[in-house]
Chain A
Amino acid sequence: MVTIDTSVCLVCGGCIDLCPKTAIQMVDDRVYVIQEKCIQCKICVQVCPVGAPRHIEDAA
């Protein structure tokens, strides 16, 4: 799964805009991944200038 490390995230919103599945949203000025919509394409991980989105391998 992909989650946002909020201690690093600067809330620029780039990952929200570039997520092809609109699976990232801003609620109360914090950025969240909507797990049900996320396809783990990791585009957010690639584009974030501060490395806030983290991909953790799902247990098989």
Chain B
Amino acid sequence: MKERYDVTVIGAGPAGLLAAKALAQNGFDVAVLERKQDPAAITRACGQSLLPPNEYFFGDIFHYNERDKRFCFSVSGLSFPYTGPVKSLYNWHMFSPGMKKMQFGCGEEKKTAPIALSYDKDVLIKDLLRDIACDHVDVCAGTEYTDMQFGPGTIVVKAGEKAFQSSFVIAADGTNSRVVQKLGYNSNRRHIANLYVQSCFIKGFKPPHDNAIITAVTFVDEKPVYLFLLPRAEGDEWNFIILTLEAGVDLTAAYDRITKDARFAAWFKAAKKTKEFAAIEYIYSPIQRPFRNNVLIVGDAGACQELECLGAMLTGWKGGLAIAAALKEQELGIMPRAIAQYEDWWLNTYIKQYDYQDYLSIFGIAYMFSKPEVIDYVFGLMGDESFPATFNPYRAVGLLGGRLQSLMPRIMQERPDILQVLAGTMSLFPSDIMGQTLKK
């Protein structure tokens, strides 16, 4: 541990480690603070699915370079080693409470590019740690950020008894970021809902479809609960995520009820938990300008982009480069512009082109359609024909909305009562609908 660093990075997840990599490769001294003893020991629920490797996403093209075992972002020129397993996923099956199904992707695997890659986050973190160790980054594990003080040209980051001095700080402390709270960002953000999550790895799960993502919306004690079943990268384990926006749902009990429920019992008959995780997220609208007091916010700390960590990787890397350039600007005494350029990219490409309202719609289905019967009807109508292959939530929501619009005349004839429900909610933002329902 040094007395002073150029940059202190808070959080050794994908965003923090890639920010450290960008800075270290430019010759700067970096400390990374991580509260866990082993940054690679994942304890928080995570989808562990990277998406989508078949289209532009966040302004880049992500892919896995199998020859050299590297994850690559062609536009940003970012690549880093990943030696773990990768599984290609081709379809997404979405079930309603009454088991009506909508499908993204036609099921013919070899004819389409995968919609997501399942990976192993433990290995990803281990590989990144090994990669940046060569660049002389000090990773301080078991070191929890507690406070921050601002002096002229210096920020002191406190971690219990320890103190880290640096010119800049990168906050990569994830969802519910304490640094974001400290800097007062949340007073200008909109709090939309809380996401309560429990997940587990399961063995012996009998999937209705192989190499596919399976999601379902169901109700437990009349409260909407969402199920995500994601194949793990290696072997036959699955990552089973149960989440709800409703406070007070006992998710442990929900697991038992769902796995024994007649609709799902065949899938879970021989299923056994091998590892458990949890997460809670206060969902806020994204931060618009993520730089303040020489602290740059990257990844989920600044914008909730759940279910994939491409956003964390890209913002970490680009944010790290921006701070590296800012340090050079200071050294050379030239007009600063790197951070402003990064903030423009964050706002115009990362935030505005990937509207968090669309992303929220995936969790808003139960609120928009309000009753199980309506969800079943809509899924039944829309599921007649499969959708293009995607797990990109922004694109999926656009596709669903488009088809629903085109079915309006039929709904008007068949079920004017349901049309009325839809007319009442489709003109609203998902955040408004959730806000109204959840406040009741």
Contacts and interface: CB of A to CB of B under 8 A. Distances in A.
Nearest to A17: B176
A49 B280 contact: yes
Contact of A50 (B176, B178, B198): B198
Contacts of B276: 10
A47 B251 contact: no
22 contacts: A10-B43, A11-B36, A12-B44, A14-B280, A16-B144, A17-B175, A17-B176, A18-B282, A22-B147, A22-B178, A26-B36, A27-B144, A28-B37, A28-B142, A29-B38, A47-B280, A48-B280, A49-B197, A49-B279, A50-B198, A50-B252, A51-B252
A17 B177 CA distance: 7
Given A22-B146, A49-B198, A51-B250, 9 more contacts: A12-B279, A12-B280, A17-B177, A17-B178, A25-B146, A27-B144, A28-B142, A29-B36, A49-B196
Nearest to A46: B247
A29 B279 CA distance: 16
Interface string A25-60: 111110000000000000000111111000000000
Contacts of B5: none
B321 interface: no
Interface of B: 35-38, 41, 43-45, 142, 144, 146-147, 160, 173-178, 194, 196-198, 247, 250-252, 276-282
Interface residues of A, number: 21
Interface of A: 10-18, 22, 25-29, 46-51
A14 B176 contact: yes
Max chain B C-beta neighbours (<10 A), residue from A12, A25, A27, A46: A12
Nearest to A10: B278
B198 A26 contact: no
Max chain B C-beta neighbours (<10 A), residue from A15, A16, A22: A22
B37 A12 contact: no
A37 B282 CA distance: 22
A51 B248 CA distance: 10
Contacts of A17: 173-178
A11 B176 CA distance: 15
A3 B276 CA distance: 21
Contacts of A10: 43, 276-278
Nearest to B35: A26
B252 A14 contact: no
Contacts of B174: 17
Contacts of A11: 36, 43
A26 B252 CA distance: 23
A13 B35 contact: yes
Nearest to A11: B43
A24 to B, nearest CB: 10
Contacts of B146: 22, 25
Contact of A47 (B142, B175, B194): B194
B37 A29 contact: yes
Contacts of A48: 278, 280
Contacts of A50: 198, 251-252, 278
A27 B198 CA distance: 23
Contacts of A13: 35, 43-44
B225 to A, nearest CB: 12
A12 B247 CA distance: 17
Contacts of B43: 10-13
Max chain A C-beta neighbours (<10 A), residue from B160, B174, B175, B196: B196
Contacts of B41: 29
Nearest to B177: A17
A25 B144 contact: yes
A13 B42 CA distance: 11
Contacts of A29: 36-38, 41, 142
Contacts of B277: 10, 12
Contacts of B176: 14, 17-18
B144 A14 contact: no
A15 B281 CA distance: 10
B241 to A, nearest CB: 11
